[in-house]
Amino acid sequence: MRDQLKRFIDQMEDNSIAIIPAAHEKTRSYDTEYKFRQDSDFWYLTGFPEPDAIAVIDPKNKRAPYTLYVRPRDPLMETWYGRRQGTEGAQKNHGADKAFPSDKFEKDLPKLLDGHDKLYYRFSVDADLDRQVLAYLSGQRVRRLKTAYPPHTIIDPTIILGEMRLHKSEQEVEMMQTAATIAADAHILAMKKVKPGMTEGQVEALMEAFMKDKGASGVAYNSIVGGGDNATILHYVENNAELKDGDLLLIDAGAEYQGYASDITRTFPVNGKFTPAQREVYDVVLDVQGKCVEYTSVGNTVKARQEYSIELLTEGMQKLGLLKGKTADLIKKKAYLKYYMHGVGHYLGLDVHDAGRYFTDQEAKNSRPFAPGMVLTVEPGIYVPADDKSAPAKYRGIGIRIEDDVLVTENGPRNLTAKVTKAPDEIESLMQRSSRK
Ligand code: GLY
Ligand code: MN
Ligand code: MN
């Protein structure tokens, strides 16, 4: 049995059962679908790659605790839409103790759930499965427990899964390092190739082709490739403008490898040379970013790191003349939000904004301390709107973010994305040495 599944079972409550669904294919338009991406929790637990499956985990059933409901083999469907493992493959190749066709699940539900006190199930992920579970529960209630024993408690399995996913195993770290290295190399490639006159879309295309060539399944999220003041739009994904001489380019792009995400941002000059004004803002962000990487260490907390980034960036904004007044007042008034409006980082794993709680208590007062095995991004930024009359004119339209992926270890933070330089002099010399001219 897969290690993750074993560890999940170890944490399930007595006399409980879990139902964890796979993702479904989603329509993109008319009769075409988006490329399929497995549900992260389901993938983490089962490693089963197909849509429409359901995992049933029943530790009480000692001989067969793990059942998979899967799409059945079907020569016609497989000719049209691709191979299927079927029930045989689910057992032989994916470790299920038993396997049945998915369309049998609804009928089997009473027999599966009856006799358990607790059900691990997350509502609101899969509407059709919600309907089936609710129909079962209400049906059993009508029987007034005379002949049935339905679960009396429903528990969200992400309580367990979120904690598990937050603390990465050695094998997970290895896969995350691969995702990080592929993305880092893609950013290096972009630095070598970008020149005035290219479009944002061409840069996106060359990075994504590279990622796939190196074994990634694709991007971990839609790449953000923003030239000039497009960099001040946080989730800019149009990526269709021409890159101009004298502008900066902000690229936020990560690769997905075996389901694991990387998430890197670099900002560099389209023509290979920072202007003095660009460099001034860049140096502030770089300094804050480096300090926040160091801060991502055992003994500190997620919330304190956010506050630290706010303090440092506020001071930086004062130095640049973007904000005026006393640092403490500016922080109290949240004046920094005008130029820095997002968090300094997030958990990273199978999802780019990964699972796991940021607080350790129900009142959400106690922020989680960093612990070995956690992976977080570090991504401060300064974004000066092009029409911001209160900012010095030379900074208007400049957007800079620098983002690395950091593993917390006993021996301090390990930067998984250090391979792609963020030192401005090194970026310039890399760009000028390359064949882009
Ligand atoms: N690329 C998404 C993020 O940085 O959070
Ligand atoms: Mn990020
Ligand atoms: Mn990012």
**Separation of alpha carbons 51 and 72, rounded Å:** 12
Is the per-residue pLDDT at 148 higher than 80? no
Per-residue pLDDT band for 365 (boundaries 50, 70, 90) equals: confident
Last residue of a domain, one of 97, 131, 163: 163
Catalytic-residue membership of 263: yes
Cβ-contact 253, 179 below 8 angstroms: no
Choose which residue among 309, 377, 400, 404 to substitute to test ligand 1 binding: the one with the highest number of ligand atoms within 8 A of its C-beta. Answer: 377
In ligand 1, which atom is closest to the CA atom of 403? 4
Catalytic-residue membership of 388: no
Q: How many CA atoms lie within 13 A of 114 on its CB side?
A: 15
Catalytic-residue membership of 353: yes
252 lines ligand 1 (CB under 6 A): yes
Residue with tokens 């800019």: 236
* Residues found in the chain: 437
Last residue of a domain, one of 107, 129, 163: 163
**Separation of alpha carbons 150 and 357, rounded Å:** 30
Choose which residue among 187, 221, 266, 348 to substitute to test ligand 1 binding: the one with the highest number of ligand atoms within 8 A of its C-beta. Answer: 221
Per-residue pLDDT band for 143 (boundaries 50, 70, 90) equals: low
Catalytic-residue membership of 204: no
What's the structural domain count of the chain? 2
Convert the pLDDT of each residue in 317-329 to its tens digit: 999 999 999 999 9
Catalytic-residue membership of 252: yes
**Structure tokens that stand for 418 in this block:** 């250090």
Cβ-contact 182, 213 below 8 angstroms: no
283 Cβ neighbours under 8 A, 6+ residues apart: 424
pTM of the model: 0.96
404 lines ligand 1 (CB under 6 A): no
Q: Are residues 229 and 378 in the same domain?
A: yes
Between the CA of 110 and the centroid of ligand 1 the distance, in Å, is: 42
Catalytic residue among 37, 73, 342, 368: 342
Residue span of the structural domain in which 221 resides: 167-433
Q: Are residues 136 and 11 in the same domain?
A: yes
**Separation of alpha carbons 7 and 45, rounded Å:** 9
Residue 68's H or E segment, with its range, is: strand 66-70
**Separation of alpha carbons 262 and 179, rounded Å:** 5
In ligand 1, which atom is closest to the CA atom of 346? 5
Average pLDDT over residues 154-183: 97
Between the CA of 315 and the centroid of ligand 3 the distance, in Å, is: 24
Per-residue pLDDT band for 363 (boundaries 50, 70, 90) equals: confident
pLDDT for 139: 86
Q: Are residues 329 and 419 in the same domain?
A: yes
Q: Which ligand is nearest to the CA of 378?
A: 2
Q: Are residues 31 and 14 in the same domain?
A: yes
Convert the pLDDT of each residue in 16-42 to its tens digit: 999 999 999 999 999 999 999 999 999
What is the DSSP code (8-state) at residue 242?
Answer: B
Q: Are residues 15 and 51 in the same domain?
A: yes
Between the CA of 263 and the centroid of ligand 1 the distance, in Å, is: 6
% residues pLDDT > 70 (the chain): 98
358 lines ligand 1 (CB under 6 A): no
**Separation of alpha carbons 231 and 392, rounded Å:** 18
Residue 70: closest CA among 103, 41, 39: 103
Q: Are residues 353 and 404 in the same domain?
A: yes
Last residue of a domain, one of 143, 163, 183: 163
pLDDT for 134: 95
402 lines ligand 1 (CB under 6 A): no
36 lines ligand 1 (CB under 6 A): no
Q: Are residues 32 and 181 in the same domain?
A: no
Q: Are residues 118 and 172 in the same domain?
A: no
Is the per-residue pLDDT at 43 higher than 90? yes
**Separation of alpha carbons 428 and 347, rounded Å:** 31
Q: Are residues 246 and 322 in the same domain?
A: yes
Is the per-residue pLDDT at 436 higher than 70? no
pLDDT for 400: 98
Is the per-residue pLDDT at 67 higher than 80? yes
Per-residue pLDDT band for 437 (boundaries 50, 70, 90) equals: low
Q: How many CB atoms lie within 10 A of CB 308?
A: 17
The answer for 370, left when phi > 0, alpha when psi is -120 to 50, beta otherwise, is beta
Residues near ligand 2 ion, CB 5 Å cutoff: 263, 377
- Paired with 383 in beta bridges are 399
Q: Are residues 113 and 228 in the same domain?
A: no
CATH number of the domain within which 104 lies: 3.40.350.10
pLDDT for 294: 98
Strands 66-70 and 54-57: antiparallel
CATH number of the domain within which 331 lies: 3.90.230.10
Q: Are residues 200 and 309 in the same domain?
A: yes
Catalytic residue among 41, 50, 172, 263: 263
The answer for 174, left when phi > 0, alpha when psi is -120 to 50, beta otherwise, is alpha
Q: Are residues 151 and 245 in the same domain?
A: no
Convert the pLDDT of each residue in 251-300 to its tens digit: 999 999 999 999 999 999 999 999 999 999 999 999 999 999 999 999 99
Is the per-residue pLDDT at 142 higher than 80? no
Is the per-residue pLDDT at 147 higher than 80? no
